[in-house]
């Protein structure tokens, strides 16, 4: 490294975001970039550590440790420190098709495994990654690169989320003719409609989609495979198929009053909000928090996005209910480095709620008992109860209500952000693809081949709900194995 003592000379520093009470007035991204000097100082903090764990991409204790797509982090940190931005971009693109997405929405397991984090704060890897690719676009270094030769093979990719786009980009790079089927009216899946604009500007998603189209990828929108386009026809019209349909079946809340008006899955709410932002309709979004008391059931990124969106829509109040205990401020002994640090984080939504309403919106060790509605069936209140985690007869932890802790909270909008159960079954049933015990596509990580010859699967439909960066890992891997199936060998990374 150019500055071996950088991690001693400079402290970790992130750019100052736009103030919460300012940014909640619009839907724009709120991160300010560092200037070159500050960013190069942060890159200099990357240690000459000998064995970097930041790009290992392994699972420890069921969570990602290091970058799942094995980004060459020490290399491009060093290049940024030297001011060699274009070289840094080239290194970044070797492993990551769309770093402007991961640089904004990835929780950065690379930073959790950073060696510098053992003795101080980790390197600001995510911020450096985002800045490298943003500069690449600004300088005009990112241009269409269609393949020089076409193989004559046709591949269908079902789903245009992060796994589907990575698979399409890689297969097109190998020279195959790739058609991406998307049931929505825009390409991008989760990236377009599932993540709010202030977290990932949709112009950035469309910019990459346009680039892929210029490179030869064919996009077919408003076409649901299994309905408008029979799944079996995929095998007739194409030489291979890659399923990237996601895990879009949401986990339900089976309590009294669940069917009241005003109770929605989180994705119904987030998608409606982005649809209205992109294509404004009279009367506002189909599901709106304006003027309402909002209860978000569930934590994680989706719950945070619901909080931030509800605030921007003008909610009267917002409460986020989490069944798990409040995480500690620092790593506990049973969560050592380089595991993902299970510590308390204040994300943008909680920060905004605290600034607007005076307190963090999260309530821990709490669950919903029932939802109360008025005579018209409109939700009005949520009854919650505190829980404690106890060991059941099978030795497993289970929640138990604490008597006398019931509380009634006002709520005209209840958003269920409790995760997802797996892929929707229509396409899988029509193709007769074998599924595992959880309902996911039965295909091994590394081979991605399903029980049907020529059909591969990647992303959440194969592994279950996971991170965008794991979708990148799987989309690239499935493309490589699909290419090997078609050509007998593959030179894709």
Per DSSP, the chain holds a count of helices (H) and strands (E) of 17, 18
Residue 160 lies in a domain: yes
Question: Tell me, what's the pLDDT at 1?
Answer: 63
Q: Assess contact for 42 and 127: CB atoms under 8 A.
A: yes
Pick the last residue of a domain from 403, 418, 433: 418
Same domain for 439 and 412? no
Pick the last residue of a domain from 364, 393, 418: 418
Same domain for 400 and 273? yes
Same domain for 311 and 347? yes
Same domain for 24 and 115? yes
Same domain for 236 and 265? no
Residue 455 lies in a domain: yes
Same domain for 285 and 367? yes
Same domain for 292 and 207? no
Tell me, what DSSP letter sits at residue 341? P
Domain that residue 98 falls in? 6-138
Cα separation of 137 and 180, whole Å? 24
Cα separation of 113 and 443, whole Å? 28
Residue 167, class by beta-carbon neighbours within 10 Å (0-12 exposed, 13-18 middle, 19+ buried)? buried
Q: At what angle do helices 266-278 and 202-214 cross, to 10 degrees?
A: 70
Ramachandran class of 138: left when φ > 0, alpha when ψ lies in -120 to 50, beta otherwise: alpha
Same domain for 300 and 401? yes
The alpha carbon dihedral of 163, 165, 171, 177 has a sign of: positive
Question: Tell me, what's the pLDDT at 3?
Answer: 85
Same domain for 316 and 172? no
Q: What is the DSSP string of 463-486?
A: H-S--HHHHHHHHHHHHHHHHHHH
Same domain for 226 and 104? no
Same domain for 348 and 244? no
Cα 41 to chain centroid, rounded: 29
Cα separation of 93 and 376, whole Å? 55
Residue 113 lies in a domain: yes
Q: Could you give phi then psi for residue 304, rounded to 5 degrees?
A: -60, -45
Tell me, what DSSP letter sits at residue 122? P
CATH number of the domain where residue 174 is located = 3.50.50.60
What pTM was estimated for this model as a whole?
0.96
Cα separation of 260 and 263, whole Å? 6
Residue 362 lies in a domain: yes
Same domain for 386 and 451? no
Question: Tokens 């101080």 identify what position?
Answer: 120
pLDDT in tens, the chain (493 residues): 668 889 989 999 999 999 999 999 999 999 988 899 999 999 999 988 888 999 999 999 988 999 999 999 999 999 999 999 999 999 999 999 999 999 999 999 999 999 999 888 999 999 999 999 999 999 999 999 999 999 999 999 999 999 999 999 999 999 999 999 999 999 999 999 999 999 999 999 999 999 999 999 999 999 999 999 999 999 999 999 999 999 999 999 999 999 999 999 999 999 999 999 999 989 999 999 999 999 999 989 999 999 999 999 999 999 999 999 999 999 999 999 999 999 999 999 999 999 999 999 999 999 999 999 999 999 999 999 999 999 988 889 999 999 999 999 999 999 999 999 999 999 999 999 999 999 999 999 999 999 999 999 999 999 999 999 999 999 999 999 999 999 999 999 9
Domain count, the chain: 3
Pick the last residue of a domain from 418, 448, 477: 418
């Amino acid at each position: 490294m150019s500055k071996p003592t950088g991690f001693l000379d400079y402290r970790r520093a992130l750019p100052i975001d736009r103030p919460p009470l300012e940014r909640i007035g619009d839907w724009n991204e709120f991160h300010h970039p560092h200037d070159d000097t500050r960013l190069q100082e942060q890159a200099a903090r990357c240690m000459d550590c000998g064995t970097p764990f930041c790009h290992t991409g392994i699972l420890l204790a069921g969570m990602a440790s290091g970058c799942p797509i094995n980004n060459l982090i020490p290399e491009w940190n060093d290049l940024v420190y030297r001011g060699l931005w274009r070289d840094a971009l080239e290194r970044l693109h070797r492993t990551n098709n769309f770093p402007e997405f991961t640089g904004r929405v990835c929780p950065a397991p690379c930073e959790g495994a950073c060696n510098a984090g053992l003795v101080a704060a980790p390197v600001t890897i995510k911020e450096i990654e985002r800045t490298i690719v943003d500069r690449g676009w600004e300088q005009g270094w990112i241009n269409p690169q269609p393949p020089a030769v076409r193989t004559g093979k046709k591949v269908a990719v079902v789903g245009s989320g992060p796994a589907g786009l990575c698979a399409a980009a890689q297969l097109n790079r190998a020279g195959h003719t790739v058609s991406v089927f998307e049931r929505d009216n825009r390409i991008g899946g989760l990236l377009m409609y599932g993540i709010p604009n202030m977290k990932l500007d949709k112009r950035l998603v469309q910019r990459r989609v346009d680039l892929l189209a210029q490179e030869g990828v064919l996009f077919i929108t408003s076409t649901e495979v299994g309905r408008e386009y029979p799944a079996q026809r995929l095998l007739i019209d194409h030489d291979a198929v890659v399923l990237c349909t996601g895990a879009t079946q949401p986990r339900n809340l089976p309590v009294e009053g669940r069917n009241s008006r005003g109770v929605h899955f989180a994705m119904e709410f987030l998608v409606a909000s982005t649809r209205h932002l992109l294509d404004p309709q009279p009367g506002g979004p189909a599901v709106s928090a304006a003027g309402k008391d909002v209860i978000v059931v569930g934590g994680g990124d989706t719950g945070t996005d619901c909080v931030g969106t509800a605030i921007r829509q003008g909610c009267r109040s917002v409460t986020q209910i989490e069944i798990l205990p409040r995480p500690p401020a620092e790593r506990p002994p049973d969560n050592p480095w380089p595991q993902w640090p299970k510590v308390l984080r204040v994300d943008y939504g909680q920060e905004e709620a605290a600034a607007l309403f005076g307190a963090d919106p999260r309530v821990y060790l709490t669950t919903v008992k029932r939802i109360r509605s008025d005579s018209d069936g409109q939700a009005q209140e949520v009854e919650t109860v505190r829980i404690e985690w106890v060991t059941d007869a099978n030795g497993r932890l289970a929640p138990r209500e604490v008597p006398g802790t019931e509380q009634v909270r006002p709520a005209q909008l209840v958003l269920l952000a409790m995760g997802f159960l797996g892929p929707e079954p229509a396409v899988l049933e029509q193709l007769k693809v074998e599924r595992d015990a959880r309902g996911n596509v039965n295909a091994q990580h590394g081979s991605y081949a399903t029980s049907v010859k020529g059909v591969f699967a990647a992303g959440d439909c194969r592994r279950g709900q996971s991170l965008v960066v794991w979708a990148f890992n799987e989309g690239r891997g499935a493309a490589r194995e699909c290419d090997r199936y078609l050509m007998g060998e593959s030179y894709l990374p």
